[in-house]
Structure 1
Amino acid sequence: MVNGLRLPPELRERVEEIRAGRLSPVAPRDAATVVVLRDHDRHGLQAFLLRRVASMAFAPGAYVFPGGSVDPRDGEAALAWSGPPPEEWGRAFKAGETLARELVCAAVRETFEETLVLLAGPTGSTVVDDTRGDEWEADRQALLDRSLSFARFLDRRGLVLRADLLRPWAHWITPAIEPKRYDTRFFVAGMPDGQRARDVSTEADQVAWVRPAEAVERARAGEWFLMPPTLATLDELSAYETVADVLAAPREIVVHEPQAEIIDGDAYLVLPEGTERHYPQG
């Protein structure tokens, strides 16, 4: 029994080329993703997912968490910051202080760009309670086209980044066989009171609040496409009952990078040690 996922036959040649050293893997881009969570009166703990449009070059049709690549300007030190300092995030994710700052800012920025959920407030102990309206949408578009940096956006609105609302959760690197690769740190955060997550991303055609266990069941039944990091994260979160439980959970961040192998003539994505229970064996 192979501890891995069978890959399409057309990927076998790429696996062989990379393993033989005839093809160099693409360097992964630093990225951040946020699992936005809420407590529902009837359904309990739920996570927010977006389904990527079928035309996307990376993971088309997959249900994913909000997130994306780091913008170099995310490392600007001038922005107002509340919560664990960058060096503490760096220790959690085994990253330098500048990259750690970029990752936290990218996590908050990307979540706002894709859902209008903003983990920032007028003070270090408050949070914006409403991000609806034309002015907020104009700022979101300016962030998307990079005509406005995240630090400038916060400064102009007199807002403080609430790093204390985030927690580090996981670290996954896209397999070397993929033409687009990301070195992604996963964060978790509770949905701020008064805000609403919306379907505003042009990269998604559907969104859903779902119990982590239900999302895992749908994926294993073939109803939803979840990439390994998403499936593993949701499977882990299914063990918790409330947002508070998740945020209080101790985490030791381990880097996971699935490896492609040729086994008995077929190409497989071999899963990182310790993640076996998240997937059916094949």
Structure 2
Amino acid sequence: MAPKAKEGGKIDRSVPRPSSSVILISPQNEVLLLHRVKTSSSFPSAHVFPGGNISSQDGDFPPAGHPNSHDEGPHYRRAAIRELFEESGILLAKNKITGQMIHVNAEQREIGRHAIHKNEITFNQWLKGIDEAAEPDIGPLIPFSHWITPAATPRRFTTQMYLYFLPLSSESNSIIGAGEESEVQVPTSDGGIEITEARFLPASEWLRLAKKGDAIMFPPQVLLLSFVSQFLERVGEYASTVSKEESAKRRAELVDFAHSGSPPWTDKYISPFPIGQVPDGRKILALDFVGPELQGTGKKGEPDRVVLVRFKKEGPREVEIRWKREIVPEEKAAKSSL
């Protein structure tokens, strides 16, 4: 759905466009990130979770700028599954009658994703051509915070983040689709249209690459990857040595965390807001502001953490998550929450 048009027919990009992103967790508890092309109109050269704007093929939804356009719903979920397929080639769809996952070979998936991207066919039409009872597997998606681009940014989005866990496997180097049968689905780029690379790595390794300066990541990616790493990994261990039972336990702890807090992370709305800087010059971004569109709605952000970041021409660098109490004096923290 396009943003509202200003007088004269120009698009008003200050209106947040509804979009979805999915944090896809592999059977080895690694995370899929995509490296965007340099020429991308959004987040050029950055490493991001698969995702994109909601479109008319995702069903009926409140248009950009509507008060309800930020509320989580089936349209956000369908967009997350569709965009994951378009950008990485990984298909998460099931037969709605049997509940079994739909298996499509790699060649068919490649043909389908490119046809959908070119608007030659919709995602749902393509799915029905594979299996009349096929539908996106939106049930396992777990909301994991909602982010609204700061008002000072020219191009804005209102983005629902989700967790999706692929079934655990005792075998390494395989991507298993949900269901009783296993299927290897290796993520690939879209041929350089928007994505140059798609791959799974441990969350801690993605964070290491960002800290080293080898990957550009925005605050939402760094914050959510830090949570994934905290719950799914242990320092110094190899994924192949972790039992299926232990992996399942860690996943359950991450899900419990997503449902914890006040509000829980499933319901947090965050529009990063600058409130100062630290001695090294990095900006301090508060996470308790919900954005101008949601003020007075009762929605709340994250009151206890802040982001430190240095914005450069190529994007954010030196992104770090810290406890607010360690960085911001109490009186300043109180004012930032008003």
**Is 1:175 the equivalent of 2:158?**
no
Q: Residues of 2 paired with 1:262 and 1:239: CA distance? A: 28
**Is 1:38 the equivalent of 2:26?**
yes
Match of 2:87 among 114, 121, 132: 114
**Is 1:205 the equivalent of 2:196?**
yes
Indicate how the Cα distance of structure 1 residues 248 and 195 shifts in structure 2: closer, same or farther if over 3 A, else same.
Answer: farther
**Is 1:27 the equivalent of 2:2?**
no
Partner SS for 1:110: helix
RMSD: 2.9
Q: Residues of 2 paired with 1:49 and 1:240: CA distance? A: 18
Indicate how the Cα distance of structure 1 residues 114 and 259 shifts in structure 2: closer, same or farther if over 3 A, else same.
Answer: same
Q: Tell me by how many angstroms 1:226 deviates.
A: 0.8
**Is 1:237 the equivalent of 2:228?**
yes
Encode CA deviations 1:175-217: one digit per residue, 9 max, x unaligned. Answer: 2222221100011112324141322322122233111122223
Partner SS for 1:229: helix
Using the size of structure 2 for normalisation, the TM-score is 0.62
**Which AA in structure 1 matches 2:161?**
F
Instruction: Indicate conservation of the 8 Å contact 2:21/2:49, yes or no.
Output: yes
Q: Tell me by how many angstroms 1:236 deviates.
A: 1.1
Instruction: Indicate conservation of the 8 Å contact 1:111/1:117, yes or no.
Output: yes
Instruction: Indicate conservation of the 8 Å contact 1:120/1:161, yes or no.
Output: yes
**Which AA in structure 2 matches 1:186?**
M
Indicate how the Cα distance of structure 1 residues 100 and 181 shifts in structure 2: closer, same or farther if over 3 A, else same.
Answer: same
Partner SS for 2:73: helix
Tell me: higher relative CO, structure 1 or 2? Use CA pairs within 8 A at least 6 residues apart. 1
Partner SS for 1:164: coil
Structure 1 unaligned runs (5+)?
1-23, 78-92
The corresponding residue for 1:270 is: 285
**Aligned pairs for 1:138-177 within 5 A:** 138-157=111-130, 158=132, 159-177=134-152
Encode CA deviations 1:231-257: one digit per residue, 9 max, x unaligned. Answer: 111011112223643456542220000
The corresponding residue for 1:4 is: none
Percent identity reads 22
Instruction: Indicate conservation of the 8 Å contact 2:58/2:75, yes or no.
Output: yes
**Which AA in structure 1 matches 2:305?**
T
Partner SS for 1:61: coil
Q: Residues of 2 paired with 1:59 and 1:70: CA distance? A: 17
Partner SS for 1:206: strand
Encode CA deviations 1:94-139: one digit per residue, 9 max, x unaligned. Answer: 72xxx71211110110001011111112345211234411x43332
Structure 2 unaligned runs (5+)?
1-11, 62-68, 167-176, 233-246, 288-302, 308-319, 329-338
Encode CA deviations 1:155-181: one digit per residue, 9 max, x unaligned. Answer: 232213222222111111112222221
Q: Tell me by how many angstroms 1:70 deviates.
A: 0.2
Indicate how the Cα distance of structure 1 residues 153 and 269 shifts in structure 2: closer, same or farther if over 3 A, else same.
Answer: farther
Match of 1:254 among 268, 272, 280: 268
**Is 1:72 the equivalent of 2:60?**
no
**Is 1:186 the equivalent of 2:186?**
no
Bigger radius of gyration among the two: 2
Using the size of structure 1 for normalisation, the TM-score is 0.73
Instruction: Indicate conservation of the 8 Å contact 2:70/2:158, yes or no.
Output: no
Instruction: Indicate conservation of the 8 Å contact 2:146/2:270, yes or no.
Output: yes
Q: Residues of 2 paired with 1:188 and 1:127: CA distance? A: 18
Partner SS for 1:183: strand
**Which AA in structure 1 matches 2:74?**
R
Q: Residues of 2 paired with 1:209 and 1:267: CA distance? A: 30
Instruction: Indicate conservation of the 8 Å contact 1:131/1:195, yes or no.
Output: no
Q: Tell me by how many angstroms 1:74 deviates.
A: 0.6
**Which AA in structure 2 matches 1:171?**
H
**Which AA in structure 1 matches 2:42?**
F
